[in-house]
Amino acid sequence: MDVLLAGFDQVANVTALAMIVVGLTIGIVIGAIPGLNVPLAVAIALPITFNLNPIAGLGMLVGIYKGGTYGGSLSAILINVPGTPAAAATALDGAELTRQGKSGKALKMSLYASIIGEFISDLALIAFAIPMALFALRIGPPEIFSLGIFALTLVGVLSQGNMIKGLIAGAMGLFLSTFGVDPLTGDFRLTFGVRKMAGGWAFIALVIGVFAVAEVLSVLERRLGQRPLAGTVRLSDPDHSLTRNDWRRCLPVIARSSLIGVFIGAVPGLGAAVSAYLNYGITRNLSREPERFGKGALEGVAAAESGNNAVTGATFVPLLTLGIPGDVITAIMLGAFIVHGLIPGPVLFEQQGDFIAAFFIMMVLATFLHLVIARAGMAAFIQTTRVPNSVLFPIVITLSVTGVFVSTNSFFDIYVMLGFGVLGYLMKKFGFPVAPLLIGFILGPLVEVGLRQSMIMSRGGLDIFVTRPISAVFLFLAVATIAVVAWREFRSKKTGP
């Protein structure tokens, strides 16, 4: 109890509260702007936190993390351009709901699902930090490889009626991730003698290209004055309000997606985007009406948003208990811990109990403040839909170019972004889903390193993937997913539309 009270003292001061609020506001804005991303904002804010006390500084970074992870859904729903990779799954149904004049509904569900996911994640962090980290320790290379394959097969489920095109996009994403230096041997491959290709394709260039630039080009191809999405939104209108039926459909989805998100967050390297896609795919697969997904199913928004925000607390489990960052954002935050003399690991729990208690309280407080700020500001965010396409999309492309330059400081990567934009535009035009390309690209390094380390562990034997129970379960689920989706497609083609 003394430790809790001491922790509460560290959080209950104006500086800490103000920094959490500033962080959340910056996070939501950065997340909502296509082209800017959360790791970028956290990295840039990092030096600012050095002059603050540890909880205030980390509170700001946690605010950016939580706000940014949610903020991506705003532009995904309102203009069909995900502000963050994790929000791409939200766009599938969120933007469709906006087209149907129900953007308020999608925005509200996105917020509440995010907050519930975050809250469950915070509770999981507090209650299961050490046991979950011990379980995550059992996730070795074979399990990582199998989990990656399972996630990629679910990508096929996301491909809206054509599994082959979804699998091609996923395989293309995996293939694109293999360009540049080999992560294990340091050898060059697929660089074609271009020095700037040594590091492979810049992730930020690919994300902004296939989502933001491709959207800009697709909208331009159609009619100039045509707005693809709704303009004026009154949150109080019945069409924008969540009904009891909406909650009845979405609450079980939120609960399940939050728990899966917590697990994914606790496994280092997977992160919010994987959680969002995985939960979206699972929810669609388990739904009695899978055909509604991609056409404005509120459960799709709930699954993706609770799933991606449920990662935000759980990623601190391996970070705090083992010193292993759960994702790229917590990896950047590790720097803030170290600068403040806090070395994450079991010793931190023994020697800095006050800080750990304060950190847990701060996480819950940030979730509460997130709800207040995002709900109070929602009406203002909705006003962005009133900006005409002719004004909005030139700004989006300028922001995209600026965002890539700020992240990479490379003109080459801006050209790469444009190239991926053209690729994304062509993929959309010919009915290929772009989300699997991204998920394949994200999972690529994990799958490759998992495969190669597993082969070294087993001295070249493939049986390691089926003799380890967790790995075998993931592979079984992958095969089952392909079989179920192929059967569904076969049946729907046989019976006709």
Q: Residue 490 interacts with other proteins (CB under 8 A)?
A: no
145 in Cβ contact with 471 (< 8 Å): yes
Q: On the CB side of 320, how many CA atoms lie within 13 Å of its CA?
A: 25
- Residue 181's beta-bridge partner residues? 188
Burial of 100 (0-12, 13-18, 19+ CB in 10 A): middle
Q: Does 165 sit near other proteins (CB under 8 A)? A: yes
**Site mask, other proteins, residues 16-55, x = CB under 8 A?**
----------------------------x-----------
301: three-class secondary structure by DSSP: helix
By the rule CB under 8 A, 185 interacts with other proteins: yes
386 counts as binding other proteins under rule CB under 8 A: no
Q: Is 459 exposed, middle or buried (0-12, 13-18, 19+ CB in 10 A)?
A: exposed
Please report how close the Cβ of residue 77 comes to other proteins at its closest, in angstroms.
21
Closest approach, Cβ 217 to other proteins, in A, equals: 5
Q: Which stretch binds other proteins (CB under 8 A): 124-132, 255-263, 355-363, 411-419?
A: 411-419
Residue 366: in which H helix or E strand, if any? helix 353-382
**By CB under 8 A, residue 455 contacts other proteins:** yes
Is residue 467 helix, strand or coil? helix
Q: Of 102-110, 315-323, 371-379, 393-401, which segment contacts other proteins by CB under 8 A?
A: 393-401
Instruction: Name the one residue in this structure whose structure tokens are 């994640």.
Output: 121
Structure-derived torsion over alpha carbons of residues 484, 486, 489, 492, reported in degrees to the nearest 10: -60
Query: Minimal distance in Å, beta carbon 36 to other proteins?
Result: 10
Could you say whether residue 192 binds other proteins (CB under 8 A)?
Answer: yes
Number of residues that make up the chain: 497
- Residue 189 φ/ψ, nearest 5 degrees: -150, 145
Query: Are the CB atoms for 117 and 308 separated by under 8 Å?
Result: yes
Task: Establish if 332 lies at the interface with other proteins (CB under 8 A).
Answer: no
* Residue 234 lies near other proteins (rule: CB under 8 A): no
Which span sits near other proteins by CB under 8 A: 64-72, 100-108, 184-192, 276-284? Answer: 184-192
Q: Which is nearer to other proteins, 222 or 234 (CB)?
A: 222
Is residue 376 a contact point for other proteins (CB under 8 A)? no
Site for other proteins in 424-443 (CB under 8 A): 425, 430-432
From 28, 95, 97, 217, residue interacting with other proteins (rule: CB under 8 A): 217
Q: What DSSP line would sit under 31-42, residue for residue?
A: HHSTT--HHHHH
Residue 225, interface with other proteins (CB under 8 A)?
yes
Q: Among residues 172 and 334, whose Cβ is nearest to other proteins?
A: 172
Residue 488, judged by CB atoms within 10 A of its CB (0-12, 13-18, 19+), counts as: middle
Number of amino acids touching other proteins (CB under 8 A)? 59
Q: Which is nearer to other proteins, 5 or 483 (CB)?
A: 483
Encoding tokens for residue 388?
Answer: 């005409």
Region class of 294: left (phi > 0), else alpha (psi between -120 and 50), else beta: left
Contact call for residue 216 and other proteins (CB under 8 A): yes
CA distance 492 to 76: 29
Least distance from other proteins to the Cβ atom of residue 237, Å: 27
Kindly provide the b/e burial profile for residues 255-275, where b requires at least 16 CB atoms within 10 angstroms of the residue's own CB: ebbbbbbbbbbbbbbbbbbbb
Contact call for residues 42 and 60 (beta carbons, < 8 A): no
Q: Interface residues for other proteins in 100-139 (CB under 8 A)?
A: none
406 binds other proteins (CB under 8 A): yes
The one segment of 86-94, 229-237, 376-384, 410-418 that binds other proteins by CB under 8 A: 410-418
Distance CA(247)–CA(377), nearest Å, equals: 22
Q: Draw the binding track, 457-476, toward other proteins (x: CB under 8 A; -: no contact).
A: --xx----------------
Q: If binding is defined by CB under 8 A, does position 295 make contact with other proteins?
A: no
Which residue stretch of 82-90, 107-115, 199-207, 389-397 sits at the interface with other proteins (rule: CB under 8 A)? 389-397
Dmax (CA) for the chain in angstroms is: 68
Give, to the nearest 10 degrees, the angle between helix 54-79 and helix 38-49.
160
Q: Identify which range of 257-265, 274-282, 378-386, 406-414 contacts other proteins by CB under 8 A.
A: 406-414
| Contact flag: residue 187 with other proteins (CB under 8 A) | yes
Q: Which residues bind other proteins (CB under 8 A)?
A: 44, 162, 164-165, 167-168, 171-172, 174-175, 178, 182, 184-185, 187, 189-190, 192, 213, 216-217, 220-222, 224-225, 388-391, 393-395, 397-399, 401-402, 405-406, 411, 414-415, 418, 422, 425, 430-432, 447-448, 451-452, 455-456, 459-460, 493, 497
